[in-house]
Amino acid sequence: MVTFEVTTADSGSRARRGRLTTSHGAVETPAFFPVGTQATVKSLDPTDLAALGVQGILCNSYHLVLRPGSSTVRELGGLHRFMGFPGTIITDSGGFQVMSLSELAKIQEMGVRFRSHLDGAALELPPESALDHQRDLGSDIRMVLDECTPYPSSRGYARESMERTLRWAARSAHARREGDAAVFGIVQGSTYSDLRAESARRTVEIGFDGYAVGGVSVGETKALLYDMVEASTAELPVDRPRYVMGVGSPGDLVECVARGADIFDCVMPTRNARNGTAFVRGGKLSLRNAAHRADPGPIDPECGCSTCDRFSRAYVRHLLQANEILGAKLMTIHNLYHYMELMRRIRDALSRGKFGEFRRSFVEATA
Protein backbone atom coordinates (compact mmCIF):
# COMPACT_ATOMS: atom_id res chain seq x y z
CA MET A 1 0.00 0.00 0.00
CA VAL A 2 0.99 3.64 -0.30
CA THR A 3 0.48 6.68 1.88
CA PHE A 4 0.34 10.25 0.67
CA GLU A 5 0.38 13.55 2.47
CA VAL A 6 0.26 17.11 1.18
CA THR A 7 2.94 19.13 2.94
CA THR A 8 2.48 22.50 1.19
CA ALA A 9 -0.41 23.92 -0.86
CA ASP A 10 0.04 26.91 -3.16
CA SER A 11 -2.33 29.79 -2.43
CA GLY A 12 -2.57 30.94 -6.04
CA SER A 13 -3.18 27.65 -7.86
CA ARG A 14 -3.93 23.97 -7.29
CA ALA A 15 -0.20 23.19 -7.04
CA ARG A 16 0.94 21.29 -3.97
CA ARG A 17 4.02 19.65 -2.58
CA GLY A 18 3.67 16.23 -1.00
CA ARG A 19 5.23 12.95 0.00
CA LEU A 20 4.24 9.60 -1.46
CA THR A 21 5.52 6.64 0.54
CA THR A 22 5.68 3.09 -0.80
CA SER A 23 7.42 -0.03 0.47
CA HIS A 24 10.46 1.13 -1.52
CA GLY A 25 10.82 4.54 0.07
CA ALA A 26 9.47 8.07 -0.01
CA VAL A 27 8.89 10.06 -3.19
CA GLU A 28 8.90 13.83 -2.86
CA THR A 29 6.26 15.29 -5.15
CA PRO A 30 5.78 16.80 -7.67
CA ALA A 31 7.95 14.09 -9.23
CA PHE A 32 8.88 12.96 -12.70
CA PHE A 33 9.35 9.24 -13.37
CA PRO A 34 11.51 8.29 -16.38
CA VAL A 35 10.10 5.55 -18.60
CA GLY A 36 11.74 2.13 -18.35
CA THR A 37 9.47 0.28 -20.76
CA GLN A 38 11.45 -2.97 -20.86
CA ALA A 39 12.65 -2.78 -17.24
CA THR A 40 15.43 -0.40 -18.22
CA VAL A 41 15.76 3.33 -18.75
CA LYS A 42 17.54 3.13 -22.08
CA SER A 43 21.35 3.54 -21.87
CA LEU A 44 21.43 3.98 -18.06
CA ASP A 45 21.80 1.60 -15.14
CA PRO A 46 20.35 2.00 -11.61
CA THR A 47 23.57 3.61 -10.36
CA ASP A 48 23.20 6.34 -12.97
CA LEU A 49 19.57 6.86 -11.98
CA ALA A 50 20.48 7.14 -8.30
CA ALA A 51 23.16 9.73 -9.08
CA LEU A 52 20.55 11.78 -10.95
CA GLY A 53 18.13 11.68 -8.04
CA VAL A 54 15.52 9.60 -9.83
CA GLN A 55 12.94 8.54 -7.24
CA GLY A 56 10.89 6.18 -9.37
CA ILE A 57 10.35 4.83 -12.86
CA LEU A 58 7.51 3.55 -15.02
CA CYS A 59 7.67 0.06 -16.55
CA ASN A 60 5.20 -1.29 -19.09
CA SER A 61 3.50 -4.53 -18.20
CA TYR A 62 2.33 -5.24 -21.76
CA HIS A 63 5.90 -5.38 -23.05
CA LEU A 64 7.17 -7.32 -20.03
CA VAL A 65 4.36 -9.87 -20.31
CA LEU A 66 5.50 -10.59 -23.86
CA ARG A 67 9.20 -10.63 -22.96
CA PRO A 68 10.52 -12.09 -20.69
CA GLY A 69 7.10 -12.92 -19.22
CA SER A 70 5.58 -11.69 -15.96
CA SER A 71 5.86 -15.15 -14.37
CA THR A 72 9.58 -15.20 -15.18
CA VAL A 73 10.04 -11.84 -13.48
CA ARG A 74 8.10 -13.14 -10.45
CA GLU A 75 10.32 -16.22 -10.22
CA LEU A 76 13.37 -13.97 -10.31
CA GLY A 77 12.17 -11.90 -7.37
CA GLY A 78 10.08 -9.18 -9.02
CA LEU A 79 11.07 -6.09 -10.97
CA HIS A 80 13.10 -4.43 -8.22
CA ARG A 81 15.45 -7.39 -7.93
CA PHE A 82 15.29 -8.26 -11.63
CA MET A 83 16.53 -4.83 -12.74
CA GLY A 84 18.39 -3.84 -9.58
CA PHE A 85 16.34 -0.71 -9.01
CA PRO A 86 15.56 0.08 -5.35
CA GLY A 87 13.06 2.91 -5.82
CA THR A 88 9.35 3.11 -6.53
CA ILE A 89 8.09 1.38 -9.67
CA ILE A 90 4.80 2.09 -11.41
CA THR A 91 3.54 -0.38 -14.01
CA ASP A 92 1.13 0.59 -16.76
CA SER A 93 -1.63 -1.89 -17.50
CA GLY A 94 -1.38 -2.01 -21.28
CA GLY A 95 -4.11 0.57 -21.80
CA PHE A 96 -1.86 2.88 -23.80
CA GLN A 97 -1.08 0.04 -26.21
CA VAL A 98 -4.81 -0.15 -26.98
CA MET A 99 -4.20 3.09 -28.88
CA SER A 100 -0.53 2.90 -29.87
CA LEU A 101 -0.86 -0.67 -31.21
CA SER A 102 -4.45 -0.31 -32.40
CA GLU A 103 -3.81 -2.35 -35.54
CA LEU A 104 -2.89 -5.29 -33.29
CA ALA A 105 -5.61 -4.79 -30.66
CA LYS A 106 -9.32 -5.57 -30.56
CA ILE A 107 -11.37 -3.96 -27.81
CA GLN A 108 -14.16 -6.09 -26.36
CA GLU A 109 -16.24 -5.98 -23.20
CA MET A 110 -14.11 -8.76 -21.73
CA GLY A 111 -10.99 -6.66 -22.21
CA VAL A 112 -8.48 -6.41 -25.05
CA ARG A 113 -7.21 -9.05 -27.44
CA PHE A 114 -3.72 -8.32 -28.74
CA ARG A 115 -1.55 -9.83 -31.41
CA SER A 116 2.03 -9.66 -30.20
CA HIS A 117 4.14 -7.19 -32.16
CA LEU A 118 7.02 -9.63 -31.64
CA ASP A 119 5.68 -12.88 -33.09
CA GLY A 120 1.96 -12.46 -33.69
CA ALA A 121 0.96 -14.66 -30.74
CA ALA A 122 -2.45 -13.97 -29.20
CA LEU A 123 -2.68 -12.24 -25.83
CA GLU A 124 -5.98 -11.82 -24.00
CA LEU A 125 -5.94 -9.01 -21.46
CA PRO A 126 -9.07 -8.65 -19.32
CA PRO A 127 -8.88 -6.15 -16.42
CA GLU A 128 -8.35 -8.92 -13.88
CA SER A 129 -5.39 -10.38 -15.81
CA ALA A 130 -3.87 -6.92 -16.19
CA LEU A 131 -3.64 -6.73 -12.39
CA ASP A 132 -2.45 -10.35 -12.12
CA HIS A 133 0.47 -9.60 -14.44
CA GLN A 134 1.39 -6.49 -12.46
CA ARG A 135 1.18 -8.50 -9.25
CA ASP A 136 3.70 -10.93 -10.75
CA LEU A 137 5.95 -8.03 -11.70
CA GLY A 138 5.86 -6.79 -8.09
CA SER A 139 5.44 -3.09 -8.82
CA ASP A 140 4.58 -0.60 -6.07
CA ILE A 141 1.79 1.13 -7.99
CA ARG A 142 -0.41 -0.71 -10.49
CA MET A 143 -2.79 0.76 -13.02
CA VAL A 144 -6.25 -0.48 -13.91
CA LEU A 145 -6.84 -1.53 -17.50
CA ASP A 146 -8.31 1.40 -19.41
CA GLU A 147 -8.88 2.45 -22.98
CA CYS A 148 -6.62 5.33 -23.92
CA THR A 149 -9.18 7.13 -26.09
CA PRO A 150 -7.60 8.37 -29.33
CA TYR A 151 -7.67 11.99 -30.47
CA PRO A 152 -9.80 13.18 -32.07
CA SER A 153 -12.85 11.23 -30.93
CA SER A 154 -16.52 12.06 -31.30
CA ARG A 155 -18.43 12.81 -28.14
CA GLY A 156 -20.39 9.60 -28.61
CA TYR A 157 -17.28 7.45 -28.84
CA ALA A 158 -15.60 9.33 -25.96
CA ARG A 159 -18.55 8.46 -23.71
CA GLU A 160 -18.63 4.85 -24.88
CA SER A 161 -14.91 4.53 -24.22
CA MET A 162 -15.21 6.23 -20.83
CA GLU A 163 -18.06 3.97 -19.74
CA ARG A 164 -16.06 0.89 -20.73
CA THR A 165 -13.05 2.11 -18.75
CA LEU A 166 -15.32 2.64 -15.73
CA ARG A 167 -16.72 -0.89 -16.00
CA TRP A 168 -13.19 -2.27 -16.26
CA ALA A 169 -12.18 -0.17 -13.24
CA ALA A 170 -14.99 -1.68 -11.17
CA ARG A 171 -13.86 -5.17 -12.16
CA SER A 172 -10.28 -4.28 -11.27
CA ALA A 173 -11.34 -3.05 -7.84
CA HIS A 174 -13.25 -6.28 -7.27
CA ALA A 175 -10.20 -8.34 -8.32
CA ARG A 176 -7.88 -6.83 -5.71
CA ARG A 177 -6.47 -9.13 -3.06
CA GLU A 178 -5.69 -8.48 0.57
CA GLY A 179 -2.18 -7.13 0.93
CA ASP A 180 -1.93 -6.00 -2.70
CA ALA A 181 0.21 -3.04 -3.64
CA ALA A 182 -1.49 0.24 -4.54
CA VAL A 183 -3.89 0.38 -7.48
CA PHE A 184 -4.72 3.63 -9.28
CA GLY A 185 -7.91 4.33 -11.21
CA ILE A 186 -7.67 6.24 -14.49
CA VAL A 187 -9.78 9.20 -15.65
CA GLN A 188 -10.75 9.27 -19.32
CA GLY A 189 -13.22 11.35 -21.36
CA SER A 190 -11.14 12.56 -24.33
CA THR A 191 -11.35 16.35 -24.82
CA TYR A 192 -14.78 16.85 -23.24
CA SER A 193 -14.55 18.64 -19.90
CA ASP A 194 -17.89 17.41 -18.59
CA LEU A 195 -17.00 13.78 -19.42
CA ARG A 196 -13.66 14.22 -17.68
CA ALA A 197 -15.36 15.54 -14.56
CA GLU A 198 -17.92 12.74 -14.61
CA SER A 199 -15.25 10.09 -15.16
CA ALA A 200 -13.24 11.45 -12.23
CA ARG A 201 -16.22 11.50 -9.86
CA ARG A 202 -17.32 7.97 -10.77
CA THR A 203 -13.78 6.59 -10.56
CA VAL A 204 -13.46 8.07 -7.07
CA GLU A 205 -16.78 6.43 -6.14
CA ILE A 206 -15.28 3.04 -7.03
CA GLY A 207 -12.37 3.83 -4.73
CA PHE A 208 -8.62 3.57 -5.41
CA ASP A 209 -5.34 4.40 -3.68
CA GLY A 210 -4.60 7.15 -6.17
CA TYR A 211 -5.88 8.50 -9.45
CA ALA A 212 -4.38 9.03 -12.88
CA VAL A 213 -5.35 11.27 -15.77
CA GLY A 214 -5.04 9.24 -18.96
CA GLY A 215 -5.70 9.92 -22.62
CA VAL A 216 -3.91 13.28 -22.68
CA SER A 217 -0.91 14.38 -24.76
CA VAL A 218 -2.16 12.20 -27.61
CA GLY A 219 -2.28 14.91 -30.28
CA GLU A 220 -4.53 17.58 -28.80
CA THR A 221 -3.45 21.21 -28.42
CA LYS A 222 -1.65 22.41 -25.31
CA ALA A 223 -4.71 24.42 -24.33
CA LEU A 224 -6.90 21.31 -24.50
CA LEU A 225 -4.31 19.25 -22.63
CA TYR A 226 -4.25 21.72 -19.75
CA ASP A 227 -8.04 22.11 -19.72
CA MET A 228 -8.55 18.33 -19.54
CA VAL A 229 -6.04 17.93 -16.73
CA GLU A 230 -7.75 20.71 -14.79
CA ALA A 231 -11.23 19.28 -15.39
CA SER A 232 -10.00 15.93 -14.08
CA THR A 233 -7.98 16.98 -11.05
CA ALA A 234 -10.71 19.35 -9.88
CA GLU A 235 -12.86 16.31 -9.05
CA LEU A 236 -10.15 14.18 -7.43
CA PRO A 237 -9.66 13.98 -3.65
CA VAL A 238 -6.95 16.19 -2.20
CA ASP A 239 -5.61 13.40 0.03
CA ARG A 240 -4.75 11.00 -2.79
CA PRO A 241 -1.87 11.25 -5.30
CA ARG A 242 -2.66 12.44 -8.83
CA TYR A 243 -0.68 11.04 -11.72
CA VAL A 244 -0.80 12.60 -15.21
CA MET A 245 0.25 9.87 -17.61
CA GLY A 246 2.51 10.45 -20.61
CA VAL A 247 3.23 14.14 -19.93
CA GLY A 248 5.52 15.72 -21.02
CA SER A 249 7.63 18.73 -21.91
CA PRO A 250 9.13 20.94 -19.19
CA GLY A 251 6.39 23.51 -19.84
CA ASP A 252 3.74 20.81 -19.53
CA LEU A 253 5.11 19.78 -16.15
CA VAL A 254 4.97 23.31 -14.77
CA GLU A 255 1.45 23.94 -16.07
CA CYS A 256 0.08 20.59 -14.91
CA VAL A 257 1.62 21.06 -11.45
CA ALA A 258 -0.30 24.34 -11.33
CA ARG A 259 -3.43 22.29 -12.02
CA GLY A 260 -2.85 19.92 -9.13
CA ALA A 261 -0.74 17.08 -10.60
CA ASP A 262 1.77 15.22 -8.42
CA ILE A 263 3.43 12.57 -10.62
CA PHE A 264 4.41 12.45 -14.28
CA ASP A 265 6.05 10.07 -16.72
CA CYS A 266 7.10 10.56 -20.33
CA VAL A 267 9.60 9.24 -22.87
CA MET A 268 10.39 12.79 -23.99
CA PRO A 269 13.70 13.38 -22.15
CA THR A 270 15.18 9.96 -22.96
CA ARG A 271 13.89 9.68 -26.55
CA ASN A 272 15.00 13.21 -27.39
CA ALA A 273 18.40 12.42 -25.91
CA ARG A 274 18.90 9.44 -28.21
CA ASN A 275 17.86 11.62 -31.16
CA GLY A 276 20.45 14.25 -30.25
CA THR A 277 18.17 16.89 -28.74
CA ALA A 278 19.12 18.38 -25.38
CA PHE A 279 16.82 20.25 -23.03
CA VAL A 280 18.44 23.48 -21.81
CA ARG A 281 17.30 26.48 -19.83
CA GLY A 282 14.92 28.30 -22.15
CA GLY A 283 14.28 25.52 -24.66
CA LYS A 284 15.98 22.80 -26.65
CA LEU A 285 19.26 22.36 -28.52
CA SER A 286 20.08 19.96 -31.37
CA LEU A 287 23.59 18.61 -30.86
CA ARG A 288 23.63 17.13 -34.35
CA ASN A 289 23.79 20.59 -35.91
CA ALA A 290 27.09 21.30 -37.67
CA ALA A 291 27.44 24.51 -35.66
CA HIS A 292 28.53 22.40 -32.68
CA ARG A 293 31.22 20.43 -34.54
CA ALA A 294 34.08 22.32 -32.86
CA ASP A 295 32.24 23.91 -29.92
CA PRO A 296 34.34 23.49 -26.74
CA GLY A 297 31.56 24.54 -24.36
CA PRO A 298 29.20 22.32 -22.37
CA ILE A 299 25.72 21.47 -23.61
CA ASP A 300 24.27 23.97 -21.12
CA PRO A 301 26.55 26.34 -19.17
CA GLU A 302 23.90 26.55 -16.41
CA CYS A 303 23.66 22.77 -15.99
CA GLY A 304 25.32 20.83 -13.17
CA CYS A 305 25.13 17.34 -14.67
CA SER A 306 28.21 15.16 -15.10
CA THR A 307 27.97 15.40 -18.90
CA CYS A 308 28.16 19.19 -18.86
CA ASP A 309 30.84 19.10 -16.19
CA ARG A 310 33.18 16.86 -18.20
CA PHE A 311 32.39 16.94 -21.91
CA SER A 312 32.08 19.48 -24.72
CA ARG A 313 29.31 19.90 -27.25
CA ALA A 314 31.84 18.95 -29.90
CA TYR A 315 32.64 15.62 -28.25
CA VAL A 316 29.00 14.69 -27.59
CA ARG A 317 28.13 15.62 -31.18
CA HIS A 318 30.98 13.43 -32.45
CA LEU A 319 29.65 10.47 -30.45
CA LEU A 320 26.14 10.99 -31.80
CA GLN A 321 27.35 11.29 -35.40
CA ALA A 322 29.39 8.11 -34.96
CA ASN A 323 26.41 6.28 -33.39
CA GLU A 324 28.48 5.51 -30.31
CA ILE A 325 26.49 4.21 -27.33
CA LEU A 326 28.25 6.67 -25.03
CA GLY A 327 26.62 9.53 -26.92
CA ALA A 328 23.14 8.29 -26.02
CA LYS A 329 24.20 7.80 -22.41
CA LEU A 330 25.73 11.25 -21.99
CA MET A 331 22.69 12.90 -23.59
CA THR A 332 20.27 10.90 -21.45
CA ILE A 333 22.16 11.84 -18.29
CA HIS A 334 21.93 15.50 -19.27
CA ASN A 335 18.23 15.45 -20.15
CA LEU A 336 17.18 13.53 -17.06
CA TYR A 337 19.26 15.82 -14.86
CA HIS A 338 17.45 18.75 -16.49
CA TYR A 339 14.08 17.18 -15.62
CA MET A 340 15.10 16.21 -12.09
CA GLU A 341 16.44 19.70 -11.47
CA LEU A 342 13.23 21.25 -12.79
CA MET A 343 11.18 19.16 -10.35
CA ARG A 344 13.54 20.12 -7.50
CA ARG A 345 13.09 23.80 -8.38
CA ILE A 346 9.30 23.38 -8.46
CA ARG A 347 9.29 21.67 -5.05
CA ASP A 348 11.56 24.35 -3.60
CA ALA A 349 9.35 27.14 -4.97
CA LEU A 350 6.29 25.49 -3.43
CA SER A 351 7.99 25.14 -0.05
CA ARG A 352 8.93 28.82 -0.09
CA GLY A 353 5.49 29.99 -1.22
CA LYS A 354 7.00 31.23 -4.49
CA PHE A 355 5.45 28.90 -7.06
CA GLY A 356 3.52 31.70 -8.79
CA GLU A 357 6.74 33.68 -9.29
CA PHE A 358 8.57 30.58 -10.47
CA ARG A 359 5.82 29.78 -12.98
CA ARG A 360 5.83 33.31 -14.40
CA SER A 361 9.60 33.44 -14.76
CA PHE A 362 9.64 29.99 -16.35
CA VAL A 363 7.05 31.02 -18.94
CA GLU A 364 8.98 34.21 -19.71
CA ALA A 365 12.26 32.29 -20.11
CA THR A 366 10.75 29.76 -22.52
CA ALA A 367 8.55 32.15 -24.53
Kindly list the catalytic residues.
92, 265
Nearest C-alpha neighbor of 92 from the set 166, 186, 11, 7: 186
Helix, coil or strand: residue 69:
coil
Q: In what order do the strands lie in the sheet with 16-22?
A: 3-9, 16-22, 25-29
Q: Edge-to-edge strand order for the sheet containing 31-34?
A: 31-34, 263-266, 242-244, 210-213, 182-187, 141-143, 88-92, 56-60
How far apart (Å, rounded) are the C-alpha atoms in residues 350 and 261?
13
Residues contacting residue 147 through CB under 8 Å, at least 6 positions apart: 95, 98, 99, 107, 161, 164, 165, 168, 188
In whole angstroms, what separates CA 32 from the centre of its chain? 7
Strand pairing category for 16-22 and 56-60:
unpaired
**213 within 8 A of 228, measured Cβ to Cβ:** yes
Phi and psi torsions of 188, nearest 5°: -120, -165
Distance, in Å, from the CA atom of 313 to the CA atom of 297, rounded to the nearest integer, reads 6
Q: How many angstroms separate the CA atoms of 254 and 359, rounded?
A: 7
Residues forming a β-bridge with 184? 143, 210
